[in-house]
Structure 1
């Protein structure tokens, strides 16, 4: 059976999630739910402890790096408890140099922890910082077994090609694929390195009120782009995700 795949969402930010955990776990989606800081790991672990289809990622979001850099010791202590890391990365929307320095310090700290860690799956934020983020990942994770997913990639084609050569995956969502620039980038992503995400709840709207609707919309867009049946697209993404899990087993 091919499942829908959501490699990047923020379930803990869903309104009323404490009452709807079972409902989220019951939809036919294999899910990686990211956390934005290490202090959120334990509450999330408790919240989703009984889930079969939801897995938690340990993260420290770049936009929180300046406030949470002191949690790197906690990140290292918790790292052995999961094979999923995220949300991590760099964000170039800030012009504050102190914040940029904190982001880089955190990302390098995460990679230093991972140098001696068993294989993990990373979901990485690169907004307006793709060149620098990909360079840091290429250097910091060289000769490690970790698998990288670039979440909602919006960088240039040159860096995309470099990431492809490095074996990185790319996760796309319905909101991303409404952009002409993103659909152009999609043409250069090998189908074998493509995954899906929702980035929910941030991509929700009256027309797309839940994750299943989001992923179905994404499949329709991929189907149109690739001239394939939607079920073929679903199977392809599922095979890619299954391969990723096997590579980090």
Structure 2
């Protein structure tokens, strides 16, 4: 049986999630739910501790980096507990140099924590800062078994090729399969680098109101690009996910 795969979502931001955990876990979706700050790591672990299909990632979102920089020490203190790391990365949408510097300092501190650690799976934000994000990641994970997923990648094709050459993976969502830039990225990606995500609840709109709706739309789009049946696309993503997990053992 192949599951749906959601390598990047924010389940802790779902309304009523504390009473809806069992329902989310019962879905046929292998899920990585990310945290935006280290302060949320322990509460999320508690919420999802009994789950079979949901794993919690330890993160510090780049858009919160300047305000939450002191929390890096909290992250480093529990780093060894976490198999999954995210949401982390860089965001180039701010023109404030102090903000960009804080992001880079935080990101480097987090990546430095990878040293001497058991293999981790990272889900990484790179909006507007793809080249810099990829360079930092390449230096941090070269020669290790750490696995990198570039979440909702929107960089250029040169950056994409660099990331592919570095062995990175890419998680795509239903917004990408319908946008011009997203479609160009999907066309350029080797199939064995493609995973799926929802980034829910931020991507919910119109008739996309659940993670399954989102993933089905994404797989339908991938099937069109790959000229295959939807079930074949689903199986391909499932196999890619399995290979990633095995590589990080």
Do both share a fold (TM > 0.5)? Answer: yes
Structure 2: which 5+ runs fail to align? none
1:231 matched residue in structure 2: 231
Partners of 1:243 and 1:139 lie apart in 2 by: 23
Structure 1: which 5+ runs fail to align? none
Matched ranges for 1:88-237 at <5 A: 88-237=88-237
- CA displacement 1:9-28 (0-9 Å, x = unmatched): 00001111111111110110
Partners of 1:140 and 1:231 lie apart in 2 by: 36
Q: Which moved more, 1:29-38 or 1:107-116?
A: 107-116
Matched, 1:36 2:44: no
- CA displacement 1:19-66 (0-9 Å, x = unmatched): 111111011000000000100001111111111100000000000000
Q: Is the 8 A contact 1:174 1:215 kept in 2?
A: yes
Partners of 1:184 and 1:55 lie apart in 2 by: 31
Q: Tell me how large the CA RMSD over aligned residues is.
A: 0.7
Partners of 1:180 and 1:171 lie apart in 2 by: 17
Partners of 2:70 and 2:144 lie apart in 1 by: 26
Superposed displacement of residue 140, structure 1: 2.2
Matched ranges for 1:57-72 at <5 A: 57-72=57-72
Superposed displacement of residue 141, structure 1: 2.1
Partners of 1:115 and 1:193 lie apart in 2 by: 24
Superposed displacement of residue 182, structure 1: 1.1
Partners of 2:140 and 2:14 lie apart in 1 by: 33
Q: Is the 8 A contact 1:90 1:103 kept in 2?
A: yes
Partners of 1:116 and 1:75 lie apart in 2 by: 16
Partners of 1:78 and 1:67 lie apart in 2 by: 20
TM-score norm. by structure 1 comes to 0.99
TM-score norm. by structure 2 comes to 0.99
Aligned length: 249
2:9 matched residue in structure 1: 9
